[in-house]
């Protein structure tokens, strides 16, 4: 038995085989080849595989989002055997007498360039499709597994660390739990694990060795323990905990359909944080009363190029319609810091958490912002959509955001496209600056949602990504809690509502403080909804105090 101690960042216990994440090396190397016919046969096989994969994707899309969104994959499937495209590949192969991987890559680049240089915006956008199709064929040729996990069974996924863009692209049905050498509880990968309801342990360091791949292990996302080949005693303890977990889940089911109201009648809206339309199933299964934070940037992280207005519209519409009139707060893209997207081509920064990120990118790139706002307003015709801006630090930023909204609404009006002109506009309170000027900001928006992950980071000058900061990164710090009070008082003074969508919202030990502060909403990962509801229903708001705000 080998015992390792890390940091539990997403609760739950699981048992399974350790699988080490393969970071695919997708670099194509040119090789001289004699047998060109053999290369052509390899191409045919890779094309067939691509078509089978695209058929599955189109079917999945049709079921989840309707015919319109499936069209993209059907178009890709047609492109796989497009005569001109295949001729171009064979042309490179015969001219250069090289491996087929190189020929596919070169033909893909040439075709994508050709589309990108066309005058028509629609045709220009096809360059991304060409790149996508070429990448798919290449992956098949190079044996790169989509979703990163080449296993029939679900596994405990081990890795040095995982970037949010890697986590979002994993096949969730294959993952029992996450175990990483690095990482921190406030990283977006940990947040994603909680959203998916998958146990996770990070910070295992060098103790987590790649040679453990294939060995059976027990992982506990609460205590942060990973045990490889547990002895009988440990296994019995694991089974007990697992049974209790199942029992607890059953017990919490009785909370479904109950109101989020304290014993003395204070209502707190319990909403959910999500990263993709797929997560709505978990929101509904856990009876979340709304979506308090849709991290829209995960749509951008899951693709190799800017998602189009149409793709975004489908995603937002899917969530809005599925929530059936319940509020869905969609945050405009919050790229930057740990959420890096290659095609944005952001400059390398010394301090990316304080660099050109989130709303700063949107205000610097009006076309990217406009595309997202158009998709959001179009989706507002299909449910109760609210729009939220991240990382606001100044009044002028919010005014510019509002101007961008007005201009998009005017465009849609002129085009006769339906949208809800009363769509709520809110901001995230996640910088000390926004706390200090909360009164002025409150006069320009409909709600505040406190991002306690970043608010803690910027208030305490503690990098949320750094696992070594330990007790210095303390979201319970009186300075953070006083910042919450300043924001809550300013919101209520100005007649708007305020919630929390950072990870702190699910911290049951702070619920009395949140009630004393008069928080109107708490947005948490779907698996935290029922435990939070059970606690709210046991609480008496008027007896709650603000003792924790004292030093």
Residues annotated as catalytic (active site), given as ranges: 188, 501
d(CA 7, CA 13): 14
Shortest Å distance, C-beta 360 to ligand PEP: 14
Nearer to ligand PEP, 70 or 504 (CB): 504
Shortest Å distance, C-beta 353 to ligand PEP: 10
Tell me which of Mg ion, ligand PEP, none is bound by residue 409, counting a contact when its beta carbon lies within the kind-specific cut-off of 5 to 8 angstroms.
Answer: none
Asked whether the beta carbons of 500 and 514 are under 8 A apart, the reply is yes
By CB under 5 A, the residues from 282 to 321 that bind Mg ion are none
Asked whether the beta carbons of 427 and 389 are under 8 A apart, the reply is yes
**No. of H helices and E strands in the chain?**
20, 16
Shortest Å distance, C-beta 457 to ligand PEP: 8
By CB under 5 A, how many residues form the interface with Mg ion?
Answer: 3
Nearer to Mg ion, 273 or 371 (CB): 273
The 3-state DSSP class for residue 395 equals helix
Binding site for ligand PEP (CB under 6 A): 191, 293, 295, 334, 430, 451-454, 501-502
Q: What angle do CA 51, 54, 59 make, to 5 degrees?
A: 125
Region of residue 281 (left: phi > 0; alpha: psi -120 to 50; beta: else):
alpha
Site string for Mg ion, 403-432 (x = CB under 5 A): ---------------------------x--
Tell me which of Mg ion, ligand PEP, none is bound by residue 392, counting a contact when its beta carbon lies within the kind-specific cut-off of 5 to 8 angstroms.
Answer: none
d(CA 189, CA 282): 18
Tell me which of ligand PEP, Mg ion, none is bound by residue 16, counting a contact when its beta carbon lies within the kind-specific cut-off of 5 to 8 angstroms.
Answer: none
Shortest Å distance, C-beta 332 to ligand PEP: 12
DSSP string spanning 326-381?
SEEEEEPP--BTTB--GGG-PPP-SSGGGSS-THHHHHH-HHHHHHHHHHHHHHGG
Asked whether the beta carbons of 307 and 329 are under 8 A apart, the reply is no
Given the rule CB under 5 A, which of 151-159, 413-421, 449-457, 464-472 is the region that contacts Mg ion? 449-457
The 3-state DSSP class for residue 201 equals strand
d(CA 43, CA 110): 18
Nearer to ligand PEP, 238 or 458 (CB): 458
Nearer to ligand PEP, 164 or 230 (CB): 164
Nearer to ligand PEP, 50 or 358 (CB): 358
Asked if 454 interacts with Mg ion (CB under 5 A), we say yes
Shortest Å distance, C-beta 500 to ligand PEP: 8
Tell me which of Mg ion, ligand PEP, none is bound by residue 333, counting a contact when its beta carbon lies within the kind-specific cut-off of 5 to 8 angstroms.
Answer: none
Tell me which of ligand PEP, Mg ion, none is bound by residue 501, counting a contact when its beta carbon lies within the kind-specific cut-off of 5 to 8 angstroms.
Answer: ligand PEP
Asked if 451 interacts with Mg ion (CB under 5 A), we say yes
Shortest Å distance, C-beta 61 to ligand PEP: 26
The 3-state DSSP class for residue 187 equals coil
Nearer to Mg ion, 183 or 451 (CB): 451
Asked whether the beta carbons of 366 and 404 are under 8 A apart, the reply is yes
Asked whether the beta carbons of 427 and 465 are under 8 A apart, the reply is no
Residue 274 CB neighbour total at 10 angstroms: 27
Site residues, Mg ion (CB under 5 A): 430, 451, 454
């Amino acid at each position: 038995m080998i015992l390792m101690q890390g940091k539990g960042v997403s609760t739950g216990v699981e048992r399974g085989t350790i699988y080490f994440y393969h970071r695919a090396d997708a670099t194509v190397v040119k090789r001289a080849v004699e047998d060109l016919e053999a290369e052509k046969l390899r191409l045919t096989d890779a094309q067939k595989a691509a078509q089978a994969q695209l058929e599955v994707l189109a079917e999945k899309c049709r079921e989840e989002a309707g015919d319109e969104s499936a069209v993209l994959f059907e178009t890709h499937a047609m492109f796989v055997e497009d005569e001109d495209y295949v001729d171009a590949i064979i042309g490179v192969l015969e001219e250069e007498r090289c491996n087929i991987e190189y020929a596919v890559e070169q033909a893909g680049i040439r075709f994508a360039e050709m589309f990108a240089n066309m005058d028509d915006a629609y045709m220009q956008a096809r360059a991304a499709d060409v790149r996508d199709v070429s990448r798919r064929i290449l992956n098949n040729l190079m044996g790169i597994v989509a979703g990163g996990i080449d296993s029939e069974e679900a596994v405990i996924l081990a890795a040095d660390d995982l970037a949010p863009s890697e986590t979002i692209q994993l096949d969730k049905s294959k993952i029992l739990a996450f175990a990483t050498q690095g990482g921190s509880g406030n990283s977006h990968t940990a947040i994603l694990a909680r959203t998916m309801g998958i146990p996770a342990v990070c910070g295992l360091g060098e103790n987590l060795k790649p040679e453990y791949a294939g060995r059976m292990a027990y992982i506990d996302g609460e205590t942060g323990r990973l045990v490889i080949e547990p002895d009988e005693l440990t296994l019995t303890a694991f089974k007990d905990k697992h049974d209790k977990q199942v029992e607890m889940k059953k017990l919490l089911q009785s909370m479904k359909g109950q109101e989020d109201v304290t014993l003395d009648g204070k209502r707190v809206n319990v909403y959910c944080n999500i990263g993709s339309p797929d997560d709505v199933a978990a929101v509904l299964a856990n009876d979340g009363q709304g979506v308090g934070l849709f991290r829209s940037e995960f749509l951008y992280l899951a693709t190799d190029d800017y998602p189009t207005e149409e793709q975004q519209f489908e995603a937002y519409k899917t969530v809005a319609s599925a929530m059936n009139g319940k509020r869905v707060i969609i945050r405009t893209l919050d790229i930057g810091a740990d959420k890096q997207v290659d095609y944005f081509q952001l400059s390398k920064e010394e301090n990316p958490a304080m660099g050109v990120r989130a709303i700063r990118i949107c205000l610097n790139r009006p076309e990217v912002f406009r595309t997202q706002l158009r998709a959001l307003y179009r989706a507002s015709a299909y449910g109760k959509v609210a729009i939220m801006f991240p990382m606001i630090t100044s009044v002028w930023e919010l005014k510019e955001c509002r101007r961008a909204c007005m201009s998009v609404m005017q465009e849609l009006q002129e085009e006769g496209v339906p949208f809800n002109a009363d769509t709520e506009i809110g901001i995230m309170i996640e910088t000390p600056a926004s706390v200090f000027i909360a009164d002025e900001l409150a006069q320009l928006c409909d709600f505040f949602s406190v991002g306690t992950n970043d608010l803690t980071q910027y208030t305490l000058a503690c990098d949320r990504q750094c696992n070594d900061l330990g007790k210095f990164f303390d979201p319970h710090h009186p300075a953070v809690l006083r910042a919450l009070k300043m924001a809550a008082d300013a919101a209520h003074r100005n007649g708007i509502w305020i919630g929390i969508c950072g990870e702190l919202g699910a911290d049951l030990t702070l619920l009395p403080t949140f009630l004393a502060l008069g928080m109107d909403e708490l947005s948490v990962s779907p698996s935290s909804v029922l435990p939070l509801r059970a606690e709210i229903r046991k609480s008496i708001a008027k007896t709650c105090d603000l003792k924790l705000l004292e030093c």
